[in-house]
Structure 1
């Protein structure tokens, strides 16, 4: 009996620690993922707390890893601890889980029956946990994604594809944004099928607010809202970009319905192909800028042409077609970005997300809000100042809003 109690206690501690890691690090933090993989979530969290206090015992990591840690790895881990230090004291996983339970939600961690096995393919970049409202359906899943600035043609196609896929028994996943995402969710709901809304912020935040009805209907009809960050978390530009890897990983195939040449929707396709998931793209009028990104995927061999639900179904395991050679997939910034600010790098985007539009904050506060070390925040602020995207007044920094095309504030 004592063994069972100990096992239950250990499992509870791991779940609580994974909830804490979700709040501690920004999505996609590979250093955190590696530490959790090596030590386990609870021991990794205890080590991080000790490291932040300066009581670092490198031998713990070295012994658990079973190999020598080089100076480069030590430096990388040291920089990560500096990133995490500002948030460690404020961690309150009990409060986050309480907020989730009040929403009738639940936490899903690796090893749970509900955990989407495809997320394991992300390796150390996989989420430590998922915060879920609703149920994660155990069936084939297709991501139907595209631009917010969609056309009537694109929305019609997205709706029909999702409706047809749901009718065939598949779950439709998307990001809950305006445009193609919303049309895909509506199509699945219209067929009475489940849909998954993968959010960049907490599951308690209906963002964008105009899609709140879709979100509630999703939960009420057997689907789910899910996020890798706790309730109360803000949807930021960097989290939107990282959210796309989750959409791609939990889906058996990804279809881009409509996307401009540098649309953020293309990142989901590139993540999917890099994970060896089939990718489809819907062609549009050759004169339509809204379909230029789809045509680019087709021309470069990253996707196959799909025009209806039957052709999308062929992309699923056991289907007839497969995406092009994943080795040709380009995951460079030019494929993932949607403007000058994103081109500056993930840390810079995180820091700009943390800047206020008025009042000003000091570097330490900005670092904590951004999930970076003070040194990283200082370097990013220098870049932002050079790009005329941040203004310094004494020891305080304020955001200068970029042009609309490169705005980093949440846009869905």
Structure 2
């Protein structure tokens, strides 16, 4: 049976929905709590939101045809919501009330432990072999790979994981209809036909690190490119544990200096997951200063 709350989350927060405006994302936890408390029918949901003071979301739900559109999307299994069984729980830990409450999906996410696989598109043969080994080892350990689906390091890890029969979650920085795929599970914040954009890519990168128990960087370029900027942003925001393939390049040495760990071989993945996190953050001093400024 279709969940009323999931339909409402799809109606309010999916990009590409036929609504005239977007409500603030931060309000979704209160909306979910109110709807669970009152358990209204779809037709009564707008009034329930008004009673809790959520006037704009209530008005949006009254947009002609919006709820019927959202109900179809949920019934077609095209929507991943915060209430879905496979929704990465680490997103809630990493992002709190700005975690995405509804995204587009192709396929069904399993409840799983995820390993992030990121790296340069124009990767060296050594980096590609390393990432293939990572994907195979993750599958052997019963883990799943989450990546951005780019050529190079991402694709190498994905291919090895799929060949072992394990799921791959691909987070895309554009609409799902622009890259149909039957092998990987694909998820995107973007509307189905929405083109690539830099803001989508940046948020996609954060979601990879936020979903993963451990993210492995196969190759990067010093101070440029999506891999470098995604990894440094994740280190600054402490989105999860990050390790690198220690190839002695300036970029890898730089990420280690910023707080990333080393994963000498993909065969060490199990040990890395079991180890107590000791990752230091160069940004810890900055964070302490911010807390002191706020009086925390």
With normalisation by structure 2, the TM-score equals 0.74
- Other-structure match for 1:60: 53
- 1:185-226, Cα deviation, whole Å (9 max, x unpaired): 1121122221111112222220xxxxx6xx3222xxxxx111
2:26 to 19, 22, 34: 34
Q: For the Cα contact (< 8 Å) 1:144–1:254, is it kept in 2? A: yes
SS at match of 2:176: coil
Q: Give yes or no for contact 1:31–1:124 (8 Å, CA) kept in 2.
A: no
Output one character per residue of 1:113-157: Cα deviation in whole Å (capped at 9) or x when no partner.
Answer: 222111112112211213222231222210010122222222121
After TM superposition, list the pairs within 5 Å mapping 1:341-352 onto structure 2: none
The higher radius of gyration belongs to 1
The equivalent residue for 2:243 is: 280
* Deviations 1:245-292 (CA, angstroms, capped at 9, x unpaired): 111111111111101012211344345443452110112254xxxxx3
CA contact (8 A) 1:303 1:323 kept: no
Partner in structure 1 of residue 176 of structure 2: 203
CA contact (8 A) 2:178 2:193 kept: yes
Q: Which moves more between the two structures, 136-145 or 268-277?
A: 268-277
Match of 2:255 among 288, 291, 297: 297
Count residues in correspondence. 264
In structure 1, what is the Cα distance between the partners aligned to 2:6 and 2:198?
A: 28
Given the superposition, is the C-alpha separation of residues 31 and 134 from structure 1 closer, same or farther in structure 2, using an over 3 Å criterion? closer
Sort the Cα spacing of 1:172 and 1:258 in 2 relative to 1 into closer, same or farther, 3 A. same
Conserved? CA contact 1:255–1:269, under 8 Å:
no
Structure 2: distance between partners of 1:240 and 1:91: 31
CA gap 1:100/1:36 in 2 versus in 1, 3 angstroms: closer
CA distance in 2, matches of 1:39, 1:327: 37
Conserved? CA contact 2:85–2:111, under 8 Å: no
Residue 275 of structure 2 is matched in structure 1 by 320
C-alpha separation between the residues in 1 aligned to 2:247 and 2:163?
24
Q: CA, structure 1 residues 323+177, in 2 after alignment: closer, same or farther (shift >3 Å)?
A: farther
Runs of at least 5 residues in structure 2 that lack an aligned partner in the other structure: 36-45, 287-296
- Between the aligned partners of 2:231 and 2:164, the Cα distance in structure 1 is 25
> Are residues 1:117 and 2:89 paired?
yes
SS of the equivalent of 2:122 reads coil
- For residue 132 of structure 1, give the secondary structure of its aligned residue in structure 2: strand
Cα RMSD over matched residues? 3.7
> How do 1:7-406 and structure 2 match up within 5 A?
11-12=3-4, 14-20=5-11, 21-23=13-15, 32-40=24-32, 60=53, 92=66, 94-95=68-69, 98=72, 105-121=77-93, 122-206=95-179, 215-218=181-184, 224-261=185-222, 262-270=224-232, 272-273=234-235, 274-275=237-238, 277-286=240-249, 292-300=250-258, 302-316=259-273, 319-326=274-281, 328=283
Partners in 1 of 2:267 and 2:285 — Cα distance? 28
Q: Deviations over 1:163-189 (max 9, x none)?
A: 111122110110011111111111211
Give the whole-Å Cα distance in 2 for the aligned partners of 1:226 and 1:143.
15
Q: Structure 2 CA distance, aligned partners of 1:97 and 1:254?
A: 35
Distance 2:275 2:194 in 1: 41
Per-residue displacement from partner, 1:344-392 (whole Å, max 9, x unpaired)? xxxxxxxxxxxxxxxxxxxxxxxxxxxxxxxxxxxxxxxxxxxxxxxxx
Contact 1:244 1:267 in 2 (8 A): no
> TM-score if structure 1 supplies the norm length?
0.55
Shift of 1:32: 1.5
| Shift, 1:110, TM fit | 1.8
